[in-house]
């Protein structure tokens, strides 16, 4: 088609493909990802440029570091508790090796990153869970990091913003994982009783022990469009009850309808929404 180009003169910028639309003229070799919603293949660079969303509105999963750069003010994040890592309290078969593989593959040492940051100029404590690390499962280190973050926030009188993504408690740490639900909840309660603000953003998927603890304990609970949020897994429910699940079961919109989240927050406007909510709660102590 290149030879036709000289016959066709674009009348304006739009016809010529728009200004600086470099990602649109995709490199033929660039890897693509097919959107599960609209089934279009989209070049990765375009997905990344749009905070991991498709133009149809579908939200792809996002690694914790990617989310960090997208939600926080540039250079404001100071990571904390990096020395807290999972041990293998039960000496569970294959767990130590699994941790090693996952660490190498994900470039993270644990399934959550914590620290302080500024979001739209508002200082806050922040935790972001990592879907690429054993699906954000909560073991002792995740529980310890989040508990420590809430204790720090309570002491410094700071608000907490938390991004959840998790398959639940990490079964390889058995009861020690289970107890992290109580431990984190206790720390959230103290933070709350001190009159401080906690905002959670539920992202795909937030399930099991994390849903049944700190994910649902926020003063304000946001959810990303289409995120799966629930306690029991949908397949398990289907198998045990032998009933067809209703359409959109356990999706963010379903939770909104049933009154369990405050709002659905598309990524595009998320940073401004989060910073507005932080600002609205900065009147008293939570500065």
Shortest Cβ 174–another protein spacing (Å): 5
Shortest Cβ 156–another protein spacing (Å): 18
**Torsion angle defined by CA atoms of residues 106, 153, 160 and 208, in that order, rounded to the nearest 10 degrees:** 60
Shortest Cβ 186–another protein spacing (Å): 4
Q: Among residues 24 and 194, whose Cβ is nearest to another protein?
A: 194
Measured in whole angstroms, the distance separating CA 229 from the mean position of its chain's CA atoms is: 12
Which residues share a beta bridge with 86? none
SS3 content of the chain, % helix, strand, coil (to 5): 40, 20, 45
Shortest Cβ 234–another protein spacing (Å): 9
* CA gyration radius, the chain: 21
Q: Among residues 52 and 172, whose Cβ is nearest to another protein?
A: 172
DSSP 231: S
Question: Helix, strand or coil for residue 32?
Answer: strand
Q: DSSP strand E in 94-195: where?
A: 112-119, 122-129, 160-166
Shortest Cβ 111–another protein spacing (Å): 13
Q: Among residues 26 and 178, whose Cβ is nearest to another protein?
A: 178
> What does the block give as tokens for 104?
């190498």
Contact 67, 77 (CB under 8 A): no
Q: Among residues 159 and 209, whose Cβ is nearest to another protein?
A: 209
Q: Among residues 70 and 231, whose Cβ is nearest to another protein?
A: 231
Shortest Cβ 119–another protein spacing (Å): 24
Q: Among residues 194 and 280, whose Cβ is nearest to another protein?
A: 194
Count Cβ neighbours within 10 Å for each residue of 27-65 and write b for 16 or more, e otherwise.
Answer: eeeeeeeebeeeeeebbebbbeebbbbbeeebbbbbbbb
Residue among 206, 194, 198 at smallest CA distance from 164: 206
Shortest Cβ 20–another protein spacing (Å): 45
Shortest Cβ 242–another protein spacing (Å): 11
Residue among 167, 161, 170 at smallest CA distance from 197: 161
Chain contacts with another protein (rule: CB under 8 A): 83-87, 89-90, 92-94, 139-141, 143-144, 147, 169, 171, 173-183, 185-190, 192-193, 208-209, 211-217, 229-232, 236-237, 240-241, 243, 245-246, 249-250, 258-260
Residue matched to tokens 């608000």: 159
Q: Among residues 120 and 186, whose Cβ is nearest to another protein?
A: 186
Q: Among residues 157 and 190, whose Cβ is nearest to another protein?
A: 190
Omega before 22 cis (within 30°)?
no
């Amino acid at each position: 088609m290149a030879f036709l180009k000289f016959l066709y003169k674009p009348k304006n910028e739009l016809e010529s493909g728009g200004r600086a639309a470099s990602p649109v003229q995709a490199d033929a070799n660039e890897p693509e990802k097919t959107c599960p919603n609209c089934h279009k293949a989209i070049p990765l660079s375009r997905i990344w440029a749009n905070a991991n969303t498709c133009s149809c509105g579908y939200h792809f999963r996002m690694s914790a570091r990617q989310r960090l750069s997208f939600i926080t003010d540039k250079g404001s994040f100071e990571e904390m508790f990096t020395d807290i890592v999972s041990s293998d309290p039960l000496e569970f078969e294959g767990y130590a090796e699994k941790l090693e593989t996952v660490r190498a593959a994900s470039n993270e040492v644990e399934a959550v990153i914590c620290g302080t940051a500024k979001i739209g100029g508002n200082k806050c404590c922040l935790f972001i869970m990592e879907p690429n690390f054993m699906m954000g499962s909560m073991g002792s280190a995740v529980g310890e990091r989040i508990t420590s973050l809430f204790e720090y926030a309570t002491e410094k009188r700071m608000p907490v913003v938390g991004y959840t993504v998790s398959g639940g408690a990490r079964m390889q740490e058995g009861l020690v994982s289970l107890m992290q639900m109580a431990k984190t909840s206790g720390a959230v309660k103290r933070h709350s009783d001190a009159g401080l603000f906690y905002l959670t953003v539920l992202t795909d998927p937030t399930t099991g022990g994390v849903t049944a603890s700190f994910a649902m304990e926020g003063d304000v609970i946001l959810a990303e469009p289409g995120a799966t949020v629930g306690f029991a897994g949908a397949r398990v429910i289907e198998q045990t009850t032998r009933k067809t699940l209703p359409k959109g079961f356990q999706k963010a919109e379903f939770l909104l309808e049933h009154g369990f989240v405050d709002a659905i927050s598309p990524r595009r406007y998320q940073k401004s929404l989060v910073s507005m909510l932080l600002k609205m709660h900065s009147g008293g102590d939570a500065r």
